[in-house]
């Protein structure tokens, strides 16, 4: 039986076979010449595309969902017309999945015989529904496509960003134009064509006003972070010589050291510093895997679960589809793996995360439907200290809250995600949302927040939620109050990552490339921008000038 992760990769490969090269409109194009192993200056490449604005002809649009009273009336009329036209097929319609309805609805899930306590709210949007894209829904939105799609990606931080990352309470509201480094592993049509990418995305300006007319309102014209005509840039370096696709990749706390799972069952640890140092000066390069320092750990079967410890530098954990979990430790600049594996799951290990406050504790989830918490000091390799039957299907992903360390989120195969309080492991989940209508592929709490979370799904949607928001009304047809944002336009979303430093910045990877965006959720960023602007305008007064001023003002 294949795990959910394996099926996700299989679907992605089917897309690759249908269209081996992703094509899209672009403004800036870069290339890597395959004849060179180490190149400082490159020609343009048709495979790497970058753009920071949208074309109205896109069939799949992205944007925030806004429902007003007029929309609700239209939807109600459409529903009435649909019910009248389908009266003759009422019996057949009752047997069809309710997700096939074209109207936006909220309904009860479950049969009538289920108790009221077990029923939960379900919100969904039909795939055939047309959503208008509003550029002002994003403070920033940039898109990058590569020759081959990637299942997984992670950020690489500069030295300054790494210092800030160590301060758990630190985050930056804005830094336009942004520059970020991104590592990713490919899923190519042929195994030998797979690569590890390291991308530098620079000059990423605010795009919120890109669609506005030249005559903007007086209020908007005062914003010093209006869209800039300067085009974004992408520089790419890569590692070749891989013999199979990359299932999952994670960087070591933002350093240019990456661990990744291969399809052939290897866990690899790779030093990306030679690529990173060249990219800092916009020099693109290509290295063969044999030219870089790396270490390979063989496994009987492939895996997808992988995580670095934030508390103990160099500690790594991996989980495979045969249910085995291994710990790795850094010793004298070399990684060693424990001889004995943890084996307590009855299915494939789908995701792993270290505790944010205890270096010897980690969480795992599996296709057996469970969420487990393990304390490695106990030395019990066949038993978890906490076992929660989280879902009645595969649990694909988990996220451990970095602020409230007792909160863990799980995302499942049925599109449901839940939040658990580890202080009460025997209790039901404190939150349960059935918004997405297909499997959850990625989930992450926002750094420095105990209530905000982002979720991606196979239904091609990425949703952002804030559970600190209270219910304001009980209208059956309203969007849930906790739903803050819905991002669309990417096919087969595979993974999302919050930037650990830059507030509310998300990168998402899919079959048609990467999106890097910051949603417009509130006015906090604008206030912060204005505050920084005001601080920058405060004149610096020298001490000698101050003394002269006091002398002039003194009483003689």
Instruction: pLDDT tens for the chain, 556 residues: list them.
Output: 556 556 555 555 555 554 443 333 333 333 333 333 333 333 444 444 444 443 433 333 333 334 344 445 555 655 566 555 555 444 444 444 333 332 223 223 332 333 333 334 444 455 555 566 678 899 999 999 999 999 999 999 999 999 888 887 677 777 799 999 999 999 999 999 999 999 999 999 998 887 765 434 444 444 445 556 788 999 999 999 999 999 999 999 999 999 999 999 999 999 999 999 999 999 999 999 999 999 999 999 999 999 999 999 999 999 999 999 999 999 998 999 999 999 999 999 999 999 999 999 999 999 999 999 999 999 999 999 999 999 999 999 999 999 999 999 999 999 999 999 999 999 999 999 999 999 999 999 999 899 999 999 999 999 999 999 887 765 555 678 899 999 999 999 999 999 999 999 999 999 999 999 999 986 554 555 455 445 555 566 666 676 766 666 654 4
Is 475 exposed, middle or buried, given 0-12, 13-18 or 19+ CB atoms closer than 10 A?
Answer: exposed
pLDDT of residue 357: 96
pLDDT of residue 2: 57
pLDDT of residue 231: 87
Per-residue b/e over 146-177, b at no fewer than 16 CB within 10 Å?
Answer: bbbbbbbbbbbbeeebeebbeeeeebebbebe
pLDDT of residue 175: 79
Run of H or E residues at 166: helix 159-166
Dist. CA 419–CA 433, nearest whole Å: 9
Dist. CA 273–CA 270, nearest whole Å: 9
For residue 286, the number of C-alpha atoms closer than 13 Å in the C-beta half-sphere is 15
CB atoms within 10 A of CB 78: 14
Output 482-485 pairs: Cβ under 8 A, ≥24 positions apart: 482/433, 483/123, 483/435, 484/452, 484/519, 484/521, 485/64, 485/137, 485/519, 485/521
pLDDT of residue 77: 58
pLDDT of residue 224: 44
pLDDT of residue 7: 59
Dist. CA 295–CA 257, nearest whole Å: 11
Collapsed DSSP state (helix, strand, coil) of residue 393: coil
pTM of structure: 0.75
Structure tokens at 13: 């490969």
For residue 174, the number of C-alpha atoms closer than 13 Å in the C-beta half-sphere is 22
Q: What is the DSSP annotation of 112-147?
A: TTS-TTT--EEEE--TT------GGGEEEEEEEE-S
Backbone φ and ψ of 71, nearest 5° = -60, -40
pLDDT of residue 523: 55
pLDDT of residue 480: 84
């Amino acid at each position: 039986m294949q795990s959910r992760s394996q099926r996700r990769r299989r679907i992605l490969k089917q897309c690759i076979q249908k269209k081996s090269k992703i094509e899209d409109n672009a403004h800036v194009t870069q290339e890597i010449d395959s004849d060179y192993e180490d190149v400082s200056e490159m020609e343009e490449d048709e495979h790497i595309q970058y753009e920071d604005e949208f074309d109205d002809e896109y069939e799949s649009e992205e944007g925030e969902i806004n429902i007003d009273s007029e929309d609700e009336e239209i939807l109600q009329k459409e529903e009435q017309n649909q019910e009248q036209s389908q009266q003759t097929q009422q019996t057949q319609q009752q047997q069809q999945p309710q997700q096939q309805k074209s109207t936006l609805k909220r309904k009860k899930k479950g049969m009538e015989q289920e108790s009221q306590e077990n029923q939960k709210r379900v919100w969904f949007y039909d795939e055939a529904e047309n959503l208008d894209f509003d550029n002002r829904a994003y403070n920033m939105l940039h898109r990058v496509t590569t020759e081959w799609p990637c299942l997984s990606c992670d950020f690489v931080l500069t030295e300054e960003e790494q210092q800030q990352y160590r301060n758990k309470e630190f985050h930056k509201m804005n830094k336009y134009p942004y520059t970020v480094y991104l590592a990713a592993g490919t899923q190519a049509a042929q195994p030998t064509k797979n690569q590890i990418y390291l991308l530098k995305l620079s000059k990423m300006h605010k795009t919120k006003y890109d669609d506005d007319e030249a005559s903007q309102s007086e209020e908007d014209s005062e914003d010093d972070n209006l869209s800039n005509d300067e085009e974004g840039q992408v520089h790419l370096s890569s590692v070749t010589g891989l013999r199979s696709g990359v299932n999952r990749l994670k960087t070591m706390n933002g350093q240019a050291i990456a661990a990744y799972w291969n399809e052939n069952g290897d866990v690899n640890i790779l030093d990306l510093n030679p690529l990173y140092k060249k990219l800092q000066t916009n020099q693109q390069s290509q290295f063969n895997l044999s030219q870089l320092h790396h270490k390979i750990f063989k496994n009987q079967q492939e895996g997808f679960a992988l995580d670095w410890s934030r508390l103990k530098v160099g500690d790594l954990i991996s989980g495979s589809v045969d249910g085995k979990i291994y710990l790795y430790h850094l010793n004298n600049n070399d990684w060693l793996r424990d001889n004995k594996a943890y084996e307590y799951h009855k299915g494939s290990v789908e995701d792993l995360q270290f505790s944010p406050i205890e270096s010897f504790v980690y969480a795992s989830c599996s296709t057996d439907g469970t969420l487990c918490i393990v304390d490695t000091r106990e030395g019990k390799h066949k038993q978890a200290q906490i076992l929660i039957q989280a879902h009645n299907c595969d649990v694909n992903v988990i996220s451990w809250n970095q602020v409230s360390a007792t909160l863990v989120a799980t995302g499942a195969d049925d599109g449901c995600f839940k939040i658990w309080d580890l202080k009460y492991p025997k209790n039901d989940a404190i939150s349960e949302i059935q918004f997405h209508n297909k499997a959850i592929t990625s989930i992450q709490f926002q750094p420095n927040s105990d209530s905000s979370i982002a979720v991606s799904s196979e239904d091609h949607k990425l949703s952002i939620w804030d559970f600190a928001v209270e219910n304001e009304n009980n209208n059956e047809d309203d969007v849930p109050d906790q739903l803050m944002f819905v991002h669309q336009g990417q096919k087969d979303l595979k993974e999302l990552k919050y930037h650990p430093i830059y507030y509310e910045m998300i990168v998402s990877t899919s079959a048609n490339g990467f999106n890097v965006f910051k949603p417009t959720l509130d006015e906090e960023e604008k206030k912060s921008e204005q505050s920084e602007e005001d601080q920058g305008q405060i004149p610096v007064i020298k001490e000698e000038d101050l003394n002269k001023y006091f002398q002039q003002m003194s009483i003689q």
